[in-house]
A and B are shown apart, each in its own frame.
Chain A
Amino acid sequence: MKRKHYAALVVGAGIAGIRSALDLAESGLKVALIDRRPNIGGVLAQLDHQFPTDACGMCKMLPLTSRDSSSQFCMRKGLFHKNIDILLHTELAALEGDPGKFRASLRQRSTFVDATRCISCGECARVCPVHVPNEFDSGLSTRGAIYLPVPHAIPNHYVVDLDRCTRCWSCFEACPTDAIDFKYAERKDFRVVAALPDAAARTDLGAWLADQNFPLVLAEDGAAALRALEEERTALLLLDLAVADVDPEKVMRRGLELYPDLDVILVAGPGDQDRAEALIQAGARQWLARPLERTVVRWLDHHYIRTVSDVTHELEVGAVVLACGFDCYDPAQAGQLWGRGVVPGVVTALEFERMCSGTGPTGGRLVRPDGRPARNLAWLQCVGSRDPARGADYCSGICCMFAIKEARLARQADPEAQATIFAMDVRTYGKDFQRYRDEAESRDGVRFVRTRIHSIEPDPEADGVPITWMDDDGTLRREVFDLAVLATGARPPEGSDRLAEAAGIALDANGFAAAPPLQPARTSRLGVYAAGAFNEPRDIAESVIQAGAAALNAARTFKVHSPPREEQAAPAPEYRDVTREAPRMLVVLCDSCPTLRTRVDMPSLAARLGGLSSVVRVECVQGACSAPGWQAVGALAEELRPNRILIGACMPYAYVPRLRELGAQIGLDPAFMDVADIYTPTFPGTATPGTALETEVYTALAMAAVKLAGAEPSPVLGRLPVTPRALVVGGGLAGMTAAMALADMGHDVCLSEKAPRLGGMAAAHHTLLGGGDPRRVMEDLAEQVMRHPNIKVFTQSRIMLSMGRAGRFMTALATAEGPAITVEHGATIIATGGREVVPDSYGYRVHKTVLRQSELEARLADGSLDTGALGGVAMIQCVESREEPRNYCSRVCCAAALKNALTLKERNRDLPVYVFYRDIMSYGFSERFYTEARGRGVLFIRYSPADKPRVSFGQDHRPTIAAFDPVLGRELRVTVDLLALSVGLEPGDNEDLAEVFSLPTGPDGFFREAESKWRPVEFLRQGIFVCGVAHSPRNMSETIASAEAAAQKAARILAHKDVVGGRVTAQVRHSLCSLCGRCVSACAYGARRIDLERGRVEIDELLCQGCGSCAAVCPNSAGVLTGFKDEQVLSVIDAALAEPTQPTEATP
């Protein structure tokens, strides 16, 4: 088999996998994207709402440049990119070889439904007698054994769940297109030889398999079996180890010798199972227990059908990205602890999300199990997270935010809903999370209760879910809720151990992919990278960043290790000019599917179409989507040389690449071709056959025909040569990481740093939580950057001025020595970092006993602090943080406090250490350090922002901290030797830079990315990217990930010779334009401006996304959109109205 070559294989087509694949594809690399599910989208396929917009928004990840390479519609429905091959229902079976030249074996499980035939009409599901819980609705609805895995995918084909199928053949008989294939006829080629010494067993087997259509030879001993094998080609050998005359191993070896792909299935009793295992090592497939039961029929059926239907793909790939996501913790694993199954109204978060979905099982209504509206709702946090007893000494990092989001959604669904969140800590550590939470509390009235609900006890008396907890003042409270939502945490995906084995990577103690310190995208195997939540639970934004980092590493591996390959670029097709010709349209109708043929009079339809003035020929072909059908279309086009081609078929989107090929073949711009969906109206149950249906089909075609008649060629506009150099602003960890990444990929980099030395904030770290030597890392990195031939470093430099657009910017740098220099670059990365806050509270700068955590860390590292002589250390978290004006969590301070507390305890076991905190933000795997600190006796005392700790100082400057302890229920006073303040980070002086580059900043002064979840390292202004603390507070590992993600985005531009926009863009008819500027304010992409000097509206074709808002607001069509001219749209409307399917009221 010839191996297909790809730059990278991406395993997992959830959001991280899609992001990695798109990142690689957009930089021109070929990617294979696989997922073991039958659909893309991962868990997000089920989720309709994401904060902060409370909408979906996944489509915001679609490429904005070179748009025509990709589909441009809802990404939850599907994704098409010319550089991405998607294989679904496919798993990685083995990965061999070395980085740059891996050999990947993929196993694609058959769905038993032929995608080229299935028209998704649903007849099969209607007749299926099986009803099992539907995974898509988290079991809240049922599905058949043949079903649509997700209701919205494009293309969407039915799938057979073989394990649930009773093989009743109802679907097979119901399918109008013969798409379901259980390979029944082919069974006659699947010869089975059964060597069974026991006569009764032979008789039984013979009887059981009598009507199964398999050629069966029953052999009573080894010799007979050998004879049978020699006789004729055999597919399966059922070999009882009790065969005595010939050694069973000999029979097996002969069989395999004759037919290398023979399936040898052993039958073993209790005594010879060890022998069976040994023979499996020698080539047998598996063993079954003696005596054989009737179930062997079902087993053989499955075995056969898998053997003949499943496919193996062999690929050669440069690098591998594992983006296998996570599974939601199943609370049933803890039995009835949370009342699952015994208390009605206990749901998981995923079930709740399905309830919120307008297309979900309840149509978006929140209902109790008894059908009454659910108004009083509770969320139980940390179900399966932060629970070492249940194998999760980590925080899932996502549940606090999704619980808050769900609470807000509940309020939106029902304004009377009351939401209560039970949580130990509310971990709002991400960008803008704190404000979202505050808004939930103040605006939506979400109640936060500080406790962990350990269990839910059933109570038959209660009208709902009874929940009992201890309040802060020590009283036992009980409340009955309509619904209790279990905020189930993240667990490694099922089968990750198998995958790890196949991919040859190590897993960590939690079962996620192990990552080396400060190499967030790496795994234990070189050339194999982890994206998304596969090496630590992450939310969408961080998964997307992590996916970018993984993509960068994969691209770098491919670039460095892959043998150079001759890539012959396809020549740009040449199209003949048909704009001056009268339309001559070829109409091809695909009539292979009986739904159309039996319901619509095809000759009559063809005759009506032939009556359209632009149509010169109407032809029917069989299976336009199949290879022969498409060849027939091509032959017609060759013969007729039409200047318009309209195809009536199903699934128009599937034809996009084919139209492009056909265009090249006959020299016709694909803008003059279209595919109209004529099948959907013919689905059974949608319309009755007859004139009305025929008219509906005709109208669909006529509308497309008149639109095509008025079509214009659509050349790609906005082609701009790229300057292959990046400018990186900021020489800290983020800037240096990004610079190295780009330089390694062969791009020139200009790195500007305002300080005299590289290093930035991270250079001040001495230790890391969990070990590692950040100083060494930073020094090495700075040295590599300085020595890299592709990087030019300007220290003590400042950006003065910048202009241009993606592909070509001009930026003026002021340097310490000499005059300003001008840099020409194609992409820009902003990595200007931030700084530690200098507080004004708690006696800092007044008393030398008060330090910031960084200062404590430095004194612990350089040995100047004698921990043995200390009588006590206190720490206060969230100093001047998480409240206005700095209402955000800085992410690093809890980790710093834990790090210093653990170091203090390590050096002086008995030293009292007190941590006054609001919420400990030890998200992800850093949770274990929180567990460890508590285990070592660090005391954590929670305070609320309304009642902060009070600090007073004695004569000797020793601080005394007084605070209310909610656990003790009284005021606590401690006097210590040192007080460490966790102060958080603030952005650098970003205003000047923001102005120079026309970039927005958020309320806290950090740069405002294009979209917080889907485009976290991009700006709306294309070609400029942001990473590190300039974007938001983040630790070193997260900074590296974001820098690599930003570098990958920049590489996406730099890898191309020129940047191109899309074919559908707006244009201005200047002679008609009154310069009113409505289009300028209507443009959501900032692609339009009024050029005062020239007195006209100008469009940046690269920024224009062809949405048409401008054309809609322009009153006299001075603003037009390619392919959507008024004349076209009006004639389409006219065609749609011309043939009323129902009589309308006559108008004068």
Chain B
Amino acid sequence: MLRTVISDLARLRLGNGSVSITQVREKGHLNRPRLRNPHWFLRKKRTVHDDFVTSENRNFVKEVLHHTYNSSALTRDEQTHEKKLTNETIPEKQPWSQELRRCGVIARKIGQYPLWLKNGEKIRTTLLQVVDNHVIKYVPPEEYRPTRRPNVPYSKKYGCVLVGAESTDPTLLTKEYCGLFSNSGVMPKKNVARFMVSPQSALEAGTPLNVRHFRVGEFVDVRGKTVDHGFQGVVKRHGFKGMPASHGVTKTHRRPGNIGGGGEKGRVWPGTKLPGHMGNRWRITKGLRIWRINTKYNVLWVQGSAVPGSTNGLVYIYDTILPLRKPKDAPPNYEDNTLIEDIWFEQVHNFKDESITYKPE
């Protein structure tokens, strides 16, 4: 016994000497930088000093703005449609297939109201407005470096499309942030988001995106940040029942009660529902049907009222990943100029139609 221990020790000492060459650190992944912010995470707002600019100078700045962006710059809620040619190369367009992943859009949740189906049933819909979207940049899969190296072997399948929404006054933004937009020829945007796309469906920088990206009757996933409720107790956060208000109950009216067993399992198990911060998380609602589209105001009517986020909050709309609800046809053509202002799904009752009647049997 003693002998074996000594021999072990000796082997260890021996090993130590040789390990200096073939050192294997098991916890090496801890030393790796865990999070590298993407290159578009820049300080957005400039510290505006009160530097007494004369009105002439202010006008001059405005003039320069108009000159550089050559558009009805800074008109609110307007979709700017000009497209500038850049010398960026994107892969050739290929015929559509169901496996391809398309770019999404940035939208605002602007409210909800009911619609009625043709059989008289009422449905609740949420209105999402696609707000002045432009493609800013496309990064092909070989060059794209994700913020965090995924655990699965990264197959480099998808490229990254950077999309901006809502043009804004560049004088309020930092130089670096405005630099993001310089190659695409679009005005600096308030919001930027990235969408992972298949290289076949990559988009050129400067391409405007609007509601015609989607078709009525198809399904979308909507990602948004839920309403922030702050630190909440267990009754509000997880819907616990609490305890009685009287009958000898003291000081435990809205508390969780028991949170674990004893004996072998005498600890709080991971995942136990406890008080904590509620809301302000990114959540995706999947498989919402598009009931109606308004091309004038770029609004989608989407099934249900469970879209994450508050009214006037920002959401991202993707094609659904649910396998049975994926689109069966190729996406609508952008260049198609036959514009109908209001597009209704065939099951939805158009308010311009006559009242619904049922045929007697």
Q: Do the two shown chains form a genuine complex with each other?
A: no
Residues of A within 8 A of B (CB): none
Residues of B within 8 A of A (CB): none
